[in-house]
Structures are given as C-alpha cells and as structure tokens.
Amino acid sequence: MNRFMIAALGAALASLAPAAALAQVSPIELKGDVKVDTVVVENGKETHVLVEPKLVVPGDDLVFSTSYRNNGATPVKDFVVTNPLPTAVMLAPEGADKLVVSVDGGKTFGALSALSVAGTEGKARPAVAADVTHIRWILPVLAPGSTGKLTYHAIVR
Amino acid sequence: MKNQLAMRAAIGSFAFVSICTAVLPGTAHAGGVAAGTMIQNTASATYTSGTASGTVSSNTVSVRVDELLDVAVSGLTSTPAVAGATDVVLEWSVTNTGNGPEAFNIAVNPAVAGNGFDATVQQIVVDDGDGVYEPGIDQVIANGAATPAIAADGSVKIFVIVTLPGTATDGQTSQVDLTATAATGSGTPGTVFATQGDGGGDAVVGSSTATQTDNDSLIASLASVALTKDGNTIVDPFGGNQAVPGAVITYTLTATVSGTGQADSLHITDAIPAGTTYQPGTLTLDAAPLSDAADADVGQASASGIDVNLGTVAGGTTKIVKFDVKIN
C-alpha cells in the first residue's frame, strides 16, 4: 500500500464521519401493532379477546397500538405521538371522548365533543367518531427507560 | 402508564412531522371497504431531548381486508303475475351486499309447497343492466349456473320466463323461488374460504349466509268454452212444426266462455246435416246477419257447413250463432 492510497482512505473516512454524526440514533423507539378485538361468548358471558388480524372484514373492531420506550439516558420532554387514521377505518365511538383528536386532517386538535365539522346546507354539526382523521397523545416527560402503549379502537368501514 | 398521559388542548410551539398512510385503493360503501384494501397504520412522535428536538416514526402495520360474501334477493313481481296461454316474465333483483366482485349461482325452483300448480320454467335470463327484459340480448343461463360477476353493492335483475302447465286450472296460484348463492361459497356466517377472497385475501361468509331466496307468485287465468247445439225450431210448409221434407230447421249454437281468462282463436264450425240444404243468407251472430261469402265479416257459410271466427273472447261472454237448413 503506498502513501497515496493511505491518503485516499483517510479522505474517505473523513468524509464518512459527518454523515455518521447526522444519523443520530433516536432515544425514542416506537413500535406499531394491530389486533382484532373479538367477542367470545362463554356461558353467556362476553369476553373480549385480541387476536392476530388473520381475517378482517368490514365491521371488525381493530386495535391499533403504538408502544414507546425511552432508550436514552436522559429524560425526553414534550413527547407528542400523532397517528393519522387509515381512511378505511373509523374511530370506534366507544372511548372516543377520552382521546385528543382532529377532524380536519391534523390542523387542529381537541376533545371530540368540542369539535364540529361542516354539515349539510353549510351548517356546522357536532363531530362524531367517524369524522376523526388523527389521534394525538401528549406526554410531558418520559423518564429514561420508561415504556408505555398507546392504543385506539377502530372499526373497519 | 395511563397516569402519565396528560391531555393538552394546546400543543405548544414544537415542530410536528406527520407521516400519512398510503392512499388506499378501496372506497367505503354500504358493503364496506373493498376486499383487498390494505389498511396501514403508522404513528409518529416529536419530542425534545435536552436542547435538541427529534422526530421518530413507528413501523407501519398493514392489514388486508378480506372478502365478505353476502347477498340479498328480492322478488319484484309484487302482485301475482297473471298467467294465461302466453309466456309470463317474472323478475327478481340480486344484490351483492358483500365488499368484492362476486358471481352468484341462480337456482329457480317452481315446485314450492302449497302451489296449486308448478309453473314450467322456460328460461333464466340475466339482465344486461338496463332493467328491461330483452329476448335475444340479455344473457340466458342454465338453472343453477352463475351470473357474471356483480360489483360490490351492485345488483342485477334476473328474468325467469315461465308458462302454465297443462294441468293448471283457472284461479290457481303458484309460487316460484329463486335462490342466489355466492359462487365462492356459502354457509354459516363466519365460514372461511382461504385465499379465495377478491384482492388476494380470504373470503368469509357474512350474515346473509351468502345465499338467499325470495319468491314471485303467479295466478292462472284461463277460460273454458262450452258449446251447445239446439235444432228444435222446425217450421214445416204446412204451418206446423213437423220434420218433413220442405220443413226449415233453425239451428242455434251457443258458445259460453267462462273463467277469468280469455278464449283465443275461437271458431264455431258446424257441418250441414246430410239430407238438408243450407238456406243462403240465414247465418247470424248474436242476431246480426253475416254474409255467406268469405269476406270482411267473421262468418261464412256454404252447402257443406258454416264457420264463424269469434277470435278472442273474454270469460263471462256468451255468443249465439244461428242458421237455417231445409229438409230435402
């Protein structure tokens, strides 16, 4: 190996270094999952069981979840998770009032009961779960190592 | 972790990056999202760590929508179709209430319990989409065969051409059942036909069991004809009523059509009895004279016999034909 080649290698390594610095590993890890919420009736009692989505048809209750974890050594603040709803599903009405949602494509967020959408004849009507386009979760602080799971139910349209 | 969640109406000043799901090929409709649609969900997050802010996205989870097999069948002949001597066209609509294109097997059963008669099925015809029965244009299928694929939420008219059996009598009623069954399969709701769904997924039987039946009804409207002949009116040359040579006999033929239907192409014919001679110009129908010649009026007469063409005669009508002969 001659000196010229070593010099060239050095230059190559030098040019790689800034790129590696940019590709900083996020301290936050998000993992999405989906299950089907099925109702099993046993001895007259209804129990909900989450199963793998092997078979999904309109009307099914899907449970989308996003698990988060702070893998960093320092606390993470102002942690905001936003989930656009797939257009083929609608937010399940049950429990929808406990979420922070958007009905205008993610421009504004709030409690469903406080939102309205354009109705017929130009009049605004109160928003319903089926109008929701985005869901948002806000956590002020994630301590190092803390984990959690954010879920929502959606009905296949 | 629920206690860590805080609802905040205002989201502050930090940046937010939205990662939208891919545009879905399916559109929502009554039967639901189209079979084969991929439902994809991705969440994203923004945060601050020290003085730096960051964004991160989750993996995208995908779920394929499977095909729901459902059907609705409705007999469209709301009042019983009146069946006489000609073909009767019965109509049904078959609606694909599933979420993918599906062909349906059409089975027609004219032998329904309680029938006064069982209609004879001549043809099963699938409408071409204009809702009108067009012989020679609409597609004829065998009993039990499949329609072309019907789009999700689409419906097609089925025409069933039936005739009365010879055994039917006036006023009898009959029902004809039409059953449409998803070509992929049917059964208890929830029955799965693996990998047979439209769009690459499975097919699963919906609440309709993927097979439905509805009936149309028809009523026989027929007429019967009774003919009586009376030759009791005799006038002899001597002013009496003896059947002697030279006496004139007036024959009266009475056709009584009964029933709710009609008698088509009804002719009254009679031969002139041997040993007698038709008296020209004596043929009448309901007391109105008919010429002997074969011409515009409905009657003709000659030395051999008479023929009155009554055409179509409705039930409840009586027609009287008279003519004279002279005993030779």
Last residue of a domain, one of B220, B248, B279: B220
In a shared domain, residues B274 and B155: no
Q: Which residues of B135-161 are buried (b: 16+ CB within 10 A; e: fewer)?
A: eeebeebeeeebbeebebeebbbbbbb
Best mutation target, A87, A113, A142, A152, to test chain B (most B CBs within 10 A): A87
Q: A28 vs B47: CB contact, 8 Å cut-off?
A: yes
In a shared domain, residues B302 and B276: yes
Alpha-carbon distance B55 to nearest alpha carbon in chain A (angstroms): 8
Residue of A nearest to B198 (CA): A57
Q: What is the pLDDT of residues B98-118, one digit of tens each?
A: 999 999 999 999 999 999 999
Q: Say if residues B67 and B184 touch (Cβ distance below 8 Å).
A: yes
Q: Where are the beta strands (DSSP E) in B200-302?
A: 203-205, 211-220, 223-235, 248-259, 262-271, 276-278, 284-285, 288-289, 299-301
3-class DSSP state of B291: coil
In a shared domain, residues B93 and B55: no
Residue of B nearest to A90 (CA): B28
In a shared domain, residues B227 and B312: yes
In a shared domain, residues B95 and B175: yes
A105 touches chain B (CB under 8 A): no
Q: A138 vs B7: CB contact, 8 Å cut-off?
A: yes
Q: A146 vs B4: CB contact, 8 Å cut-off?
A: yes
Q: B41 vs A32: CB contact, 8 Å cut-off?
A: yes
In a shared domain, residues B111 and B215: yes
| pLDDT given at position A24 | 61
In a shared domain, residues B88 and B205: yes
Last residue of a domain, one of B18, B35, B65: B65
In a shared domain, residues B56 and B96: no
Rounded Cα–Cα distance for residues A77 and A69 (Å): 13
Of B5, B45, B63, the CB nearest to A56: B63
Alpha-carbon distance A14 to nearest alpha carbon in chain B (angstroms): 25
In a shared domain, residues B25 and B156: no
In a shared domain, residues B211 and B252: no
Q: B45 vs A59: CB contact, 8 Å cut-off?
A: no
Which of A98, A100, A95 has its CA nearest to residue A81? Answer: A100
pLDDT of residue B262 exceeding 60, the answer is yes
Q: Say if residues B164 and B120 touch (Cβ distance below 8 Å).
A: yes
Rounded Cα–Cα distance for residues A135 and A120 (Å): 25
| List of chain A residues whose C-beta atoms are within 8 Å of the C-beta of residue B20 | 84
| pLDDT given at position B29 | 54
Best mutation target, A26, A55, A77, to test chain B (most B CBs within 10 A): A55
Of A29, A57, A74, the CB nearest to B68: A57
Last residue of a domain, one of B13, B36, B65: B65
Q: B41 vs A34: CB contact, 8 Å cut-off?
A: yes
Best mutation target, B3, B29, B65, B68, to test chain A (most A CBs within 10 A): B65
CB proximity under 8 Å: A 129-148 to B? 134, 136-140, 142, 146-148
pLDDT of residue B207 exceeding 80, the answer is yes
Q: What is the pLDDT of residues B212-222, one digit of tens each?
A: 999 999 999 99
In a shared domain, residues B269 and B257: yes
The pLDDT tens digits along chain A (157 residues) read 444 444 444 444 444 444 444 446 789 999 999 999 998 888 889 999 999 999 999 999 999 999 999 999 999 999 999 999 999 999 999 989 999 999 999 999 999 999 999 888 888 999 999 999 999 999 999 999 999 999 999 999 9
Tell me, what CATH number does B293's domain have?
Answer: 2.60.40.740
Residue of A nearest to B195 (CA): A55
Contacts of A5 (CB under 8 A, 6+ apart): none
Tell me the one-letter amino acid at B314: A
pLDDT category of residue B245 using cuts at 50, 70 and 90:
very high
Please state the domain count of chain B.
3
Alpha-carbon distance B208 to nearest alpha carbon in chain A (angstroms): 14
Residue of B nearest to A148 (CA): B1
In a shared domain, residues B104 and B179: yes
ipTM of the prediction:
0.82
Domain with B277 in it: 223-327
Rounded Cα–Cα distance for residues B30 and A157 (Å): 9
Best mutation target, A38, A39, A52, A57, to test chain B (most B CBs within 10 A): A57
Q: Which of B10-24, B113-127, B146-160 has the lowest mean pLDDT?
A: B10-24
pLDDT of residue B30 exceeding 80, the answer is no
Tell me, what CATH number does B192's domain have?
Answer: 2.60.40.10
Q: Furthest-apart CA pair in chain A: how many Å?
A: 83
Alpha-carbon distance A140 to nearest alpha carbon in chain B (angstroms): 7
| pLDDT given at position A12 | 44
